Structure 1
Amino acid sequence: MKVKVSPRGGQGLGAGPERAQGTGGAMDGLGRRLRASLKLKRGRGGPHQDNPGEGAKELERTQEHALPSFAGGQHFFEYLVVVSLKKKRSGDDYEPTITYQFPKRENLLRGQQEEEERLLSAIPLFCFPDGNEWAPLTEYPRETFSFVLTNVDGSRKIGYCRRLLPAGPGPRLPKVYCIISCIGCFGLFSKILDEVEKRHQISMAVIYPFMQGLREAAFPAPGKTVTLKSFIPDSGTEFISLTRPLDSHLEHVDFSSLLHCLSFEQIIQIFASAVLERKIIFLAEGLSTLSQCIHAAAALLYPFSWAHTYIPVVPERLLDTVCCPTPFMVGVQMRFRQEVMDSPMEEVLLVNLCEGTFLLSVGDEKDILPPKLQDDILNSLGRGIELKTPEEINEHVSGPFVQFFVKTVGHYASYIKRESNGQGYFQERSFYKALASKTNRRFVKKFVKTQLFSLFIQEAEKSKNPPAGYFQKKILEYEEQKKQKKTREKTDTRTVVNRRD
């Protein structure tokens, strides 16, 4: 999403902000552990659940999928909240509390009120996931990160956060601006948070007209632009243009942090572990790094969606998530490293983003993918990445992994047999036997048993035609290349025969 600002009657905007890529995650299905912590479930506010197996059962039942593509026309956001640290009545600890909310929801039905209360009660925990041991500060590096909350009905809400030290003299506590939206477009919401931050430095009253205008605007379709008119005292009227790219499959991800922290070989091993739906834990100091890297890792699975526990910044009180026996992809702040290392875990890939190392691994990560295709990914990643823009880097990194799936499972549509009523049935055995390479076939026989593939193929069975998206485009290009190669080989063979004659 590109953002242009055209100032009129006053000075322009300041320098561009850090990117808010990646998504943190949390699920209402975190189960008894989360509900007990937040007291979100009606009529239940009991003690923490100390049995991770119980939480794991509910974790497994609730699935978190990758962010969907949006056709446009939806509202940009549901809420803007400011979360501040307030001292508890007893002791010196602080607890995060919502101190500003726009819009105020009124005239809701009882069920709607309860759902909104659950949502608003969960937000502070994920805005300050690093515990309550805070003290007033004079300096604090601002951080941009995000999280995902899944409602009981399966719908998702994304929290886009900017945590910083508010302007003012003397020691003070950080606060978080958090925008709650159903839309996955992280670069865009980082720009919106810039506008909120800029206005908050003037007055909270200046935020209202900007957010009201944004709320009334329709989210643009791919390739379209929406322009917002905004007035700032002493600056004049500004026109802010928001444009979505035509190809939107990477508008919600930025691979820069992942490339900065890890080597290509390590990224491929993380991808291989994720493909087989293993347990992956990322460790890092900053919320931004965790949020960006874990979302980038999940985005490598496109066109498939991670279908298990997904929490890019795990709140302190939910650290026992790492003991769950089911697959997960989570991020933990480095301050909790020893607690994680001391937890009972099996078959985990533990990634230290600060040092670019694996602290724990299963040991076979280099052998999961077919060797030739693994080399193809590595060679593609190593070509010419230094000279690319951020958008080109995204395409450069994602492309080889998409191509991997094209070569291994891109023929799936030919093995969905349809009955007269249009219902499709996937022919699994014929599908993987169609692969000529033994190593590719061995990998695919494992991959078809994952939820990644099962969810994808279930959608394909329902649809009479393959989805007209980026993955299908790459499949068609690959098939055309194979046809051209066969044609050339036939031509070369005829030429050799003619010469002999």
Structure 2
Amino acid sequence: MAVIYPFMQGLRESPFPAPGKTVTIKSFIPESGTELIELTRPVDAHLEHVEFQALLQRLSPQLILHIFASAVLERRLIFLAEELSVLSQCIHAVAALLYPFTWAHTYIPVVPECLLDTVCCPTPFMVGIQMRHLERVLDQPMEEVSTHFALQVGDEEEILPIKLQNEVLMSLSRHHSNNNVQSKHSASEQVNALVSEAFVQFFVRTVGHYAAHIKWGRSGRGAFQERAFCKALASKTSRRFVKKFVKTNMFSLFIEEAEKSRIPQEEYHEQKKHRRES
């Protein structure tokens, strides 16, 4: 406590750093004296505590894409690993692939033994289970577990538009093949940004036109025009995917926030226009 308390006190008294900025904390270490500890906040907040290399090192690009497709449709996802850190890193990374959307259901990166019955939950979940608990999970009534415990349903390759799926797969394959060579020389932030950008572009090209289909009333509230939004897509495969995606909780919550006020939308487009002109 003699070491921890002064450090925590210094942390509380320090201003919260802006994205990309660093805060310096003084900490007294016995036999070493006062030590300066620098904590840097990532530039992109949604990638804080995220390591995509954890996925790239352990799963194939095709499997990562299958997991993403299942997560987008809010299915039940179970991750198995021996180490707690691996479970935590991989699940955080998968959740980050959904940005700018947020997983809206049960989310437990490492399930404690007392909550293993979660795998029998009829609602969507994303959970991590240590391999030593596998037998306990399989001891659950099979009619309850078998439908959720399968790694794949079988239609994962048909969920995402094939053209966009191939583009994301190419990007993942490139980072996967270079991962072992570059991991020691490339900053993890750079890998995170490149991988995240591939999935952000997927959403931009499928649902990025949502703002044009919010009808604004005099009160400043908006009403999303779902039918016109779906019909605006020229690609049949993209339209088929979007018709399923708009029914998910994560998309509904995203649109609810967008409908609340027109001001953030106008500010965003004004900033985008200003950047192009400059």
Larger radius of gyration: 1
Give the aligned partner of residue 105 of structure 2.
308
Match of 1:319 among 111, 116, 121: 116
2:157 maps to amino acid:
K
Q: How far does the alpha carbon of each residue in 1:60-118 deviate from its partner, in whole angstroms, 9 at most, with x for none?
A: xxxxxxxxxxxxxxxxxxxxxxxxxxxxxxxxxxxxxxxxxxxxxxxxxxxxxxxxxxx
Matched, 1:438 2:229: no
Matched, 1:396 2:191: no
Match of 2:227 among 429, 434, 437: 429
Match of 1:360 among 151, 159, 172: 151
Q: TM-score, normalised by structure 2?
A: 0.88
Gaps of 5+ in 1: 1-203, 351-358, 481-501
Secondary structure class of the residue paired with 1:362: coil
Secondary structure class of the residue paired with 1:360: coil
2:145 maps to amino acid:
M
Matched, 1:376 2:174: no
Residues 390, 336 of structure 1: alpha-carbon distance in 2 compared, 3 angstrom cutoff: same
Do the aligned partners of 2:46 and 2:96 also contact (CA within 8 Å) in 1? no
Give the aligned partner of residue 417 of structure 1.
215
Report percent identity of matched pairs: 67
Residues 376, 458 of structure 1: alpha-carbon distance in 2 compared, 3 angstrom cutoff: same
Tell me by how many angstroms 1:346 deviates: 5.4
Q: How far does the alpha carbon of each residue in 1:179-202 deviate from its partner, in whole angstroms, 9 at most, with x for none?
A: xxxxxxxxxxxxxxxxxxxxxxxx
What aligned pairs does 1:72-221 form with structure 2 within 5 A after superposition? Answer: 204-221=1-18
1:328 maps to amino acid:
F
From the two aligned structures, give the one with the greater helix fraction: 2
Residues 216, 467 of structure 1: alpha-carbon distance in 2 compared, 3 angstrom cutoff: farther
Gaps of 5+ in 2: none
Structure 1 CA distance for aligned equivalents of residues 239 and 196 of structure 2: 23
Tell me by how many angstroms 1:255 deviates: 1.2
What aligned pairs does 1:16-55 form with structure 2 within 5 A after superposition? Answer: none
Matched, 1:269 2:269: no
Match of 2:23 among 217, 226, 236: 226
Which is further off, 239-248 or 309-318? 239-248
Do the aligned partners of 2:98 and 2:199 also contact (CA within 8 Å) in 1? yes
Give the aligned partner of residue 284 of structure 1.
81
Do the aligned partners of 1:282 and 1:330 also contact (CA within 8 Å) in 2? yes
Secondary structure class of the residue paired with 1:345: helix
Give the aligned partner of residue 246 of structure 1.
43
Structure 1 CA distance for aligned equivalents of residues 197 and 147 of structure 2: 29
Match of 1:456 among 254, 261, 265: 254
1:454 maps to amino acid:
S
Structure 1 CA distance for aligned equivalents of residues 266 and 36 of structure 2: 34
Structure 2 CA distance for aligned equivalents of residues 243 and 345 of structure 1: 43
Secondary structure class of the residue paired with 2:47: coil
Structure 2 CA distance for aligned equivalents of residues 450 and 321 of structure 1: 21
Do the aligned partners of 1:278 and 1:347 also contact (CA within 8 Å) in 2? no
Give the aligned partner of residue 333 of structure 1.
130
Structure 2 CA distance for aligned equivalents of residues 287 and 242 of structure 1: 24
Structure 1 CA distance for aligned equivalents of residues 42 and 125 of structure 2: 31
Structure 1 CA distance for aligned equivalents of residues 264 and 241 of structure 2: 23
Structure 1 CA distance for aligned equivalents of residues 57 and 43 of structure 2: 28
Q: TM-score, normalised by structure 1?
A: 0.50
Structure 1 CA distance for aligned equivalents of residues 246 and 20 of structure 2: 35
